[in-house]
Structure 1
């Protein structure tokens, strides 16, 4: 039997909400996790009306809780929809404001940033939204610090994701923040989705047209992931891919929206976090096994990229934190 979680995630579903982002939230936060031996979240849906017509009348959602459920949320996911110029109903905005005032974490997927901005909780805060709506967003909400070419923004208690697929990236980021890299990796495997794409990666990723020769990075990525404990360099990756470092850089930018060095560092940090979670106590050993060199470098990178020191990460996600 799985263990119940006390952290309640509530999704507000409103008229014309997008089904895809609702599905992302359900897949990441709402499924039972027997493979982990515990459930990660207590998940609820709520709406301001008993029957809610979803985007373009695709279907009607019924039988969910009333908007009162938002009052008990530890994490509140706000509604999004394609018609961003139509104001949200006051009851929804009031629920968002009350949740923010009592310290709940707020999440906006895609155009959900408009809901957060309408509620007034984003003024002076960092956020992102789909590139298509960036001009409209800036025009309506000039006090928000909008970052347009990123997948998601984590501004502490308010998090926003750019497009539809970025909802999965942000959701996995939240799981990683709450439960550690090992659990996030297990959730991503069940989703058959990339375990980690950093929020700073670009929203729009170029794809080679089908009739071009295969330039997929998958083989070199798999090769590198098996050798993270060695002193791999960007020229090493380029040699393996049989291209110049400049060409490799262009392919990483086009296919992954990041640089080879940033990807390699991210993979090494993820492995370091998993080793710490599994009980490895020697930071020098962790640094060597992940190719990060020294404990000093490991500490600096974890502080910069994760926001926690290795010791703080161990206290939060290590074996001694077992029942978290």
Structure 2
């Protein structure tokens, strides 16, 4: 079982801290839990968090030892993290653990020197600060997450869920990740290069929404779909469609369509024995060459290699949490 260590660095962001357990704790492969998640802190016990709360963390930094993945969640310790945390992170990286951060956890990784020479991101209000304080880090400001191999970083809040789903997708395929996303009632795939901030604030769109048009398109991925088709369904002009689409999703309509088609192809490769040509047709990518191009660009695998790596029985889903996480929430004294 893949071991995930989550570090709560005070003052911790409770939402960020809950994401790894929610995502990894729901992932089943062949009916069995795929991950064991444990939360640790420099000093076990009550850990300071935002919003006048404290979280009770049973484990210490020993959770890092032997972990396959180590995740630092959002924290207010942007200026000076606990030296014990930095030492534990360096130790994990040296041992070959996959290292990741959610939100301002990137500052902790940067303080440990683990982002030097790497592309990285963080919550957009703090991107300039990260770049200024750590010039050896290639800060990418307006993306949801960055996968730079052994080190991954995400933007704030919900982008942490996108990062964790990306890790599940990388480990076990699109079908397992989609099953987890359904349980969490979130989009199964928001790719890392999607913008953090919408082109327009949600209020600018008023009651107008393209959710129905996106659902309509998802049911027709095997058919040719042009901008005029999407605009006709939405009863709007192509120009307005494109502007609203970017405001709601951070993507152009055609970028969004391509992402959905690649994900459909991944699920078909995992869950069926259809020939590659038929997978390309049913996902709307047209030809085997087109499928090969887009899949290789997205996951660095050919269709055959992807199927060999991820194919198997239909994934199960689970709602239980992984025992031994050592995380509970309580009101702070006097709150």
Which residue does the alignment assign to 1:3? none
State which of 202, 221, 234 in structure 2 corresponds to 1:228. Answer: 221
Residue 71 of structure 1: CA displacement?
1.0
State which of 99, 116, 123 in structure 1 corresponds to 2:109. Answer: 116
User: Comparing both chains, which one has the higher relative contact order based on Cα–Cα distances under 8 Å and sequence gaps of 6 or more?
Assistant: 2
Q: Which runs of 5+ in 1 are unaligned?
A: 1-5
Q: Which runs of 5+ in 2 are unaligned?
A: 317-335
Query: Which runs of structure 2 are paired with 1:233-252 in the superposition (5 Å)?
Result: 233-252=226-245
Residue 156 of structure 1: CA displacement?
1.2
Which residue does the alignment assign to 2:11? 16
State which of 76, 86, 97 in structure 2 corresponds to 1:82. Answer: 76
Does the 8 Å contact 2:213/2:233 carry over to 1?
yes
State which of 2, 19, 23 in structure 2 corresponds to 1:28. Answer: 23
Which residue does the alignment assign to 2:45? 51
RMSD of the TM alignment (CA)? 2.0
Normalised by the length of structure 1, the TM-score is: 0.92
Does the 8 Å contact 1:80/1:115 carry over to 2?
no
Distance 1:120 1:213 in 2: 45
Distance 2:248 2:189 in 1: 15
SS of the counterpart of 2:38? strand
Distance 2:51 2:183 in 1: 30
Does the 8 Å contact 1:18/1:54 carry over to 2?
no
State which of 249, 255, 266 in structure 2 corresponds to 1:256. Answer: 249
1:61/1:278 Cα in 2 relative to 1: closer, same or farther (>3 Å)? Answer: same
- Deviations 1:13-41 (CA, angstroms, capped at 9, x unpaired): 1221111101111101234759x611120
1:280/1:31 Cα in 2 relative to 1: closer, same or farther (>3 Å)? Answer: closer
SS of the counterpart of 1:72? coil
Distance 2:28 2:97 in 1: 24
Distance 1:251 1:32 in 2: 34
Establish whether residue 133 from structure 1 lines up as the match of residue 126 from structure 2.
yes
1:139/1:154 Cα in 2 relative to 1: closer, same or farther (>3 Å)? Answer: same
Distance 1:80 1:49 in 2: 17
The range that moved more, 158-167 or 231-240, is: 231-240
Distance 1:31 1:55 in 2: 25
Which residue does the alignment assign to 1:304? 297
SS of the counterpart of 1:65? coil
- Deviations 1:222-271 (CA, angstroms, capped at 9, x unpaired): 11011111111122111211222221111111110011111001111111
Residue 178 of structure 1: CA displacement?
0.8
Query: Which runs of structure 2 are paired with 1:138-287 in the superposition (5 Å)?
Result: 138-205=131-198, 206-209=200-203, 213-287=206-280
Distance 2:315 2:104 in 1: 37
Distance 1:209 1:322 in 2: 38
- How many corresponding residue pairs? 315
The list of structure 1 runs, each at least 4 consecutive aligned residues, that deviate by more than 6 angstroms after superposition, is 320-323
State which of 58, 62, 76 in structure 2 corresponds to 1:68. Answer: 62
Distance 2:73 2:143 in 1: 20
State which of 100, 113, 116 in structure 2 corresponds to 1:107. Answer: 100
Residue 286 of structure 1: CA displacement?
0.5
Normalised by the length of structure 2, the TM-score is: 0.89
Residue 158 of structure 1: CA displacement?
0.8
1:136/1:277 Cα in 2 relative to 1: closer, same or farther (>3 Å)? Answer: same
Distance 2:202 2:66 in 1: 46
